DNA sequence: CAGTTTTTGGAACGAGCGGTACAAAAAGCC
DNA sequence: GGCTTTTTGTACCGCTCGTTCCAAAAACTG
């Protein structure tokens, strides 16, 4: 009963995510969020409570999308290491004209700025990282079954290394590395993995 | 002539660096910087011009220190891969009681938050990264001469991968990974590199 | 249509931000 | 020891921050 909302909270969260992703937690001020979400301040606070809670919701959305993107990317058909190569290759192409924009992964940014000091965010991030580990681990298992993987030592450790490389690549791209350098990094990664 | 400064600008920059390192660019407010540097606001602005310029000076100091730490770390005596192992191992021990505190590398934080949008900072960071690449490259050359390295493909690419892993490890540590996980990552790295 | 309930826009809040103005204090100069 | 030059402490500037308040508007309920 009463007046119904004039906007869709779900798309509002998506819009907020875009703002936080582009501008970071501090950069996305209340005024900026109003603008991006297309709603007034009252609606914002009435619906989401506080900036922190909105950020948590936006982060949750981001991680959900990331999960989908990564999992579908790594479950693609074909030889496992080819799949991995094209997955990393896609990352190195961010920022090219007409492609995905180059912006820092929200996980990386959150860890770097210590937003993870908040227990709620820390929990979300830790879970997402564990799932990244799992996705890489599945792919490594595939590669091992194919016999294309030089696997010595723990596959789980290797999977964690790939997660680390994935996030490191993100930093590298945002550090102004050229496409050539970025691709030399993914090339080196695959050279090491091949049997 | 005139009244001499009551403080040493050099140590003041170091103090500022500590503040920026701990709290980030935005977190280190003028009041905080006053406190950490032990000087008043007038002195701060008269000496350093603006917060941006002070940040640039602090970053420069940070990178100089980092350079020294990394280069002396990677030039240590002994088998090259052992040196690399203990270098990474040291990173994974940050945050242990009584040791180095766990705080995000200023390069990583700067890239993640886009402080590198400022050309002055970007230049500093790019140069520092190139020097990290070189330091790893030197170590890889050593390993190759020893015959302990499984080197296929470009050594420069491999060196860049190590820089990337170094920064990725930093993210991983700040993401709340356990010491066990962190060490499994360095273990995996060395397993891949060994001939 | 009257009454209740909820949302909405906009003004306003106190606090903190980076930066400046200014006068008092301190040291060098002759 | 006066005079100049520089630094220092403090108060203050305009602005933006996240958040709250409140009255008007809108839609559901009987």
Backbone phi, then psi, for B149, in 5-degree steps? -105, 135
pLDDT of A88: 98
Domain that holds residue A184: 56-193
pLDDT at B98: 84
Task: Give the mean model confidence (pLDDT) for residues A140-156.
Answer: 95
What angle separates helix A106-113 from helix A119-146, to the nearest 10 degrees?
130
Percentage of chain B lying above the pLDDT 70 cut:
100
Q: Angle A119-146/A80-92 helices, nearest 10 degrees?
A: 140
Tell me, what's the pLDDT at B151? Answer: 81
Check whether A1 has a pLDDT greater than 80. no
pLDDT tens string B12-28: 999 999 999 999 999 99
Task: Summarize the confidence of residues B177-194 as an average pLDDT.
Answer: 97
Averaged pLDDT of chain B: 96
Q: Which residue has the higher pLDDT, B107 or B95?
A: B107
Distance, in Å, from the CA atom of A162 to the CA atom of A173, rounded to the nearest integer, reads: 16
The answer to whether residue A92 scores a pLDDT higher than 90 is yes
Question: Which tokens is B125 given?
Answer: 């960071």
Whether A173 is covered by a domain: the verdict is yes
- As a rounded value in angstroms, the CA-to-C1' distance for B14 and D12 is 29
**Residue A171 C-alpha, separation from nearest chain B C-alpha, in angstroms:** 6
Average pLDDT (A38-51) is: 97
- Residue A152 is predicted with a pLDDT of 87
pLDDT of residue A180: 97
Q: What token pair was written down for B175?
A: 């993401």
Query: In this structure, is residue A161 part of a structural domain?
Result: yes
Residue A27 falls inside a structural domain: no
A155 within domain boundaries? yes
Confidence of residue A42 (pLDDT cuts 50, 70, 90): very high
Predicted local confidence at residue A84, as pLDDT: 98
Res. B127 pLDDT band, cuts 50 70 90: very high
From the list B104, B168, B191, the residue facing A167 with the nearest CB is B168
Q: Which residue is nearest to nucleotide C16 (CA to C1')?
A: B29
pLDDT of residue A95: 85
What are the φ and ψ backbone dihedral angles of B95, each rounded to 5 degrees? 95, -10
Closest CA to A53 of A13, A83, A81: A13
Q: For chain B, give the longest Cα–Cα distance.
A: 66
pLDDT at residue B2 greater than cutoff 90: no
**pLDDT tens digits along A97-131:** 888 889 999 999 999 999 878 999 999 999 999 99
Per-residue pLDDT tens digits for B34-78 = 999 999 999 999 999 999 999 999 999 999 999 999 999 999 999
Residue B143 pLDDT class (50, 70, 90 cuts): very high
Closest alpha carbon to A169 in A187, A150, A143: A187
The pLDDT of B164-169, averaged and rounded, is 98
Enter the DSSP assignment of B115.
G
Question: Over pLDDT 90: what percentage of chain A?
Answer: 92
Q: CB distance from B179 to chain A under 8 Å?
A: no
Sheet strands (E) in B118-186:
none
Mean pLDDT of A163-181: 97
- Give whole-number Cα distances, A151 to A76, A133, B124, B143, B176, in Å: 21, 16, 38, 21, 26
**Considering its fold, how many domains does chain B have in total?**
1
Per-residue pLDDT at A122: 97
* Residue B158, domain member (yes or no): yes
**Do the domain assignments include residue A20?**
no
Contact status of A175 with chain B (Cβ, < 8 Å):
yes
Tell whether A4 is covered by a domain.
Answer: no
> What was the ipTM of the complex prediction?
0.94
CATH number of the domain within which B108 lies: 1.10.357.10
Between A140 and A152, the more confident residue is: A140
Residues 134-163 of B with CB under 8 A from A: 150, 152-154, 156-158, 160-161, 163
Residue A3 contacts strand C, CB under 7 A = yes
Task: Give mean pLDDT, residues B94-103.
Answer: 87
Q: Looking at residue A187, what DSSP letter applies?
A: H
Strand C nucleotides with an atom less than 7 Å from a protein beta carbon: 4-12, 16-22, 25-29
**Cβ proximity of A158 and A133 under 8 Å:** no
Mean residue pLDDT across chain A? 96
Tell me what pLDDT residue B119 has. 94
Q: Is a pLDDT exceeding 80 seen at residue B82?
A: yes
Please list the alpha-helical segments (H only) found in B3-118.
9-27, 30-37, 41-48, 51-74, 80-92, 106-113
> In this structure, is the CB of residue B39 within 7 Å of any atom belonging to strand D?
yes
Could you tell me which chain B residue has the CA closest to the CA of A162?
B185
Could you tell me which of A73, A80, A94, A111 has the C-alpha nearest to residue A169?
A94
B104 touches chain A (CB under 8 A): yes
Contact across the interface for B164 and A158, Cβ inside 8 Å: no
Size of interface A-B (CB pairs under 8 A): 154
A164 with B165: Cβ contact below 8 A: yes
Q: Specify if A76 maps to a domain.
A: yes
pLDDT of residue A97: 87
* pLDDT (0 to 100) of residue B183: 98
């Amino acid at each position: 009963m009463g007046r119904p909302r004039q906007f869709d909270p779900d798309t509002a969260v998506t819009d907020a995510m875009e703002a936080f992703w582009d501008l970071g937690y501090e950069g996305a001020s209340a005024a900026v969020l109003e603008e991006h979400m297309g709603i007034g301040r009252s609606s914002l606070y009435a619906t989401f409570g506080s900036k922190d809670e909105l950020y948590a919701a936006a982060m949750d959305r981001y991680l959900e999308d990331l999960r989908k993107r990564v999992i579908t990317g790594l479950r693609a058909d074909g030889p496992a290491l080819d799949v991995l190569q094209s997955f990393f290759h896609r990352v190195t192409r961010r920022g090219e004209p007409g492609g995905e924009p180059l912006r820092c992964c929200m996980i990386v940014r959150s860890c770097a700025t210590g937003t993870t000091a908040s227990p709620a965010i820390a929990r979300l991030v830790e879970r997402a990282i564990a799932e990244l580990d799992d996705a890489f681990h599945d792919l490594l298992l595939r590669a091992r079954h194919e016999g294309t993987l030089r696997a010595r030592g723990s596959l789980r450790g290797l999977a964690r290394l790939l997660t680390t490389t994935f996030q490191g690549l993100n930093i590298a791209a945002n550090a102004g590395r050229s496409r050539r350098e970025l691709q030399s990094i993914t090339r080196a990664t695959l050279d090491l993995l091949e049997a």
